Copies of this chain bind each other. A is one copy, B any other.
Amino acid sequence: MKHNYLNNIPLDEAKRIFYNHLKEAGFGCRTETVNVGDACGRIIRNAAYAHICSPHYNASAMDGIAVDSRITFGASEKTPVTLKPGEYTVVDTGDPLPDRCDAVIMVEDLIEAGEDKLQIISAVYPWQNVRQVGEDICMGDMIAPSGTELTPSLCGALLAGGITEIEVIKKPLVGIIPTGDEIVAPTSSPRKGDIIEFNSTVFKGMLEGFNADSKVYPITPDKKELIKTAVETALSECDIVLISAGSSAGRDDYTSEIISSLGTVLVHGIAIKPGKPAVLGEAKNKPVIGIPGYPVSAIVIMDEIASDIVSMYYGRERTKGETVKAVLSKKIVSSLKYTEYIRVSLGRIGGKISASPLARGAGVITSFTKADGVLLVSQDCEGIEAGEEVEIRLNRPLSEIENTLIITGSHDPLIDEAADFLAKKGEEFRICSTHVGSMGAIYAVRDGLAHMGGIHLLDTQTGEYNKSYIEKYIPSGSAVAVRGVGRVQGLMVKKGNPLGIKEFADIKNARYVNRQRGAGTRILCDYLLEKSGISPDEINGYSNEEFTHTAVAALIAAGNADAGLGIYSAAKMYDLDFIPVCNEIYEFLIDKEYLDNPMVQAFLEVLYSDEFKSRLNEMGGYTEG
């Protein structure tokens, strides 16, 4: 088993080396000439000067009559002036002013005086109600400087200035070559070991956002010569080439070798996490980038490097996105070996915006779908404390983030369902729901990090739910639990219950999958173990922790575990057998300050609606809360 090590070049250094080399290689844009009518959104190569004036003739600005202003002088209510046919010309808005006329009298100001004569009671001054030549645009004026992105109104101004065609920068074409023996085209029924190729779709969408076109080449297996041929084809057809996967140093990772054989490898291995195993190279004076296969690593390299390369093509600096100052909700530890690229969800609770780090694994694409922004932790930083102010690069407009109901706490699919109901009702706010367990809900609501959160915390002394926990952890009484739902908790086991599990104590003989510490279901598990006199050590898989009911169900369905505690709807979804253990009360803990918040109100309104109850019935395992 061969193992090569990658370099670990600091991000800025890697960019400098790569970009300087590309500049020297003459990498840059191509142009094309297009109709101005189709040029909206395009970037013009050179300054655009008006060919003609706009208006290009003296035009009537009103419906009325055109006159020589001198014949109107002296007109007043006492001394009206009468205009005979021949002394005026009827004009509509936009009509050219007849020769010898220099003003227009509005139709509203005319009094009919018989025999086509017209009377006026006030004079007009020269050029009144006339759009003189060049009022808007003068021939020779610069309408836009080089490099301007054409807006709709700029396209209008160009046409008004007599420009019908314009040289614009051709959108760069980016070739994407997905590689890998195990990679398959998108399917809903992949075989074991098949990896669904979705990175090229993500790249295509991101490139569109960078203002680049893309061409996705067929999936190429891990054969050096085949990949090399694909890269050569892409180099002959495209401005930029991306090779997806195979950029690390494993036995099937040929990217670096292939780029070397066709051109130059500048960097192999960047001190960024995720994203380390990237290759930055050049061939035929074009950038060739080896992108890591893990989706999150890939997105980071697209965002950090490919985005810059497209900007460089256009001759621009990197487009700086909007940023926002936020308070970090949770301590981050970071290695001095890397710049870290941490996805965060953002929320405005009260006066401040808080940033909560999301899952950091490189394989977790959903950490990007949920990410409202990115926190870059520089290489020389060992970590950031909770409560510190950090700068976040925004992934969505701040207005959307401000307009978000933050629900943090125990997982229940009903929260997603309620979000969907609200969206269908046309509510414009967004729900950001994270699963940190019931205790997580208590801390988040107490610390002002969430508007509300689901809780189902059994007081093993009293048998009551939630009340004693809230009293203990939020003694100020600043939060209150409102009615949610009743739920059946039980053991999920494989269909047909092959191990013959009858009650909770039987998990001693099974491979168990647990929930994370702080989860209401974990507390229930610990309570049931204690009641049965079983020590956690006796449970095989006690330390195998998952964050959601569906994750537990998925592992049982996959055979990674035999049993796990969860709610009925999750078991049903995965076609598992379900052995009920208890009925519990799932409530929503809400900061009192937000009880009247319109988003909270809208959420509860849906929750308590009859339509929603029908949906819960379909899902199964719920009772009135």
Q: Is A419 an interface residue (CB 8 A)?
A: yes
Is A198 part of the binding interface, using a Cβ–Cβ cutoff of 8 Å? yes
> Which segment, of A185-193, A282-290, A327-335, A587-595, faces chain B?
A185-193
Q: Give the contact stretch, choosing among A139-147, A257-265, A472-480.
A: A139-147
List the B residue with the shortest CB-CB distance to A556.
B133
User: Is the CB–CB distance between A147 and B424 below 8 Å?
Assistant: yes
Interface string of A181-206 (1 = CB under 8 A from B): 01000111110110110111111111
Q: Which residues of B are found within 8 Å of A320, using beta-carbon distances?
A: 399
Question: Which listed residue (B190, B193, B293) contacts A52, Cβ 8 A?
Answer: B190
Give the CA-CA distance A134 to B557 in the complex, in Å. Answer: 10
Q: Binding site of A, secondary structure by majority: helix, strand, loop or mixed? A: loop
In the complex, whether A458 has a CB less than 8 A from a CB of chain B is no
Contact B428–A90 (Cβ < 8 Å): no
A400 to B288, CA, bound (A): 31
Known A-B contacts A3-B108, A202-B155; A550 and B57 likewise in contact (beta carbons under 8 Å): no
Chain A contact patch, size range: 35 or more
Instruction: Verify A153–B423 contact, CB threshold 8 A.
Output: no
Q: Which of A127, A182, A198, A553 gathers the greatest number of chain B CB atoms within 10 Å? A: A198
Q: Which of chain B's residues have a CB closer than 8 A to the CB of A63?
A: 1, 3, 248, 250-251
Q: Is the CB of B398 within 8 A of A322?
A: yes
Most buried by B among A147, A152, A201, A365: A152
**Known pairs A1-B107, A420-B146; A574 contacts B399 (CB<8 A):** no
Q: Does A554 sit at the interface, judged by CB under 8 A?
A: yes
A199 and B95 alpha carbons, distance in the complex (Å)? 18
Instruction: Say which residue of B134, B316, B550 sits within 8 Å of A550 (CB atoms).
Output: B134
Bound together, the chains give a CA A160 to CA B187 distance in angstroms of 9
Annotate A322-357 by CB proximity to B: 1 below 8 A, 0 otherwise.
100000000000000000000000000000000000
**Chain B residues positioned under 8 Å from A125 (CB to CB):** 543
A152-B206, A160-B365, A365-B153 known; A201 and B37 CB under 8 Å?
A: yes
Instruction: Please determine whether B252 and A201 come into contact, CB atoms closer than 8 angstroms.
Output: no
* CA A110 to CA B364, docked complex, whole Å: 27
Q: With an 8 A cutoff between CB atoms, is A159 at the interface?
A: yes
B residues near A365, Cβ cutoff 8 Å: 54, 136-137, 153, 156-157, 160
CB-contacts of A136-187 with B (<8 A): 136-148, 150-157, 159-160, 162-164, 180, 182, 186-187
Cβ-based interface call for A555 (8 A): yes
Bound: A370/B248 CA distance, A = 49
User: Is A12 among interface residues, defined by CB-CB distance under 8 A?
Assistant: no
B136 touches A366 (CB 8 A): yes
A164 contact set on B, CB distance < 8 A:
186-188
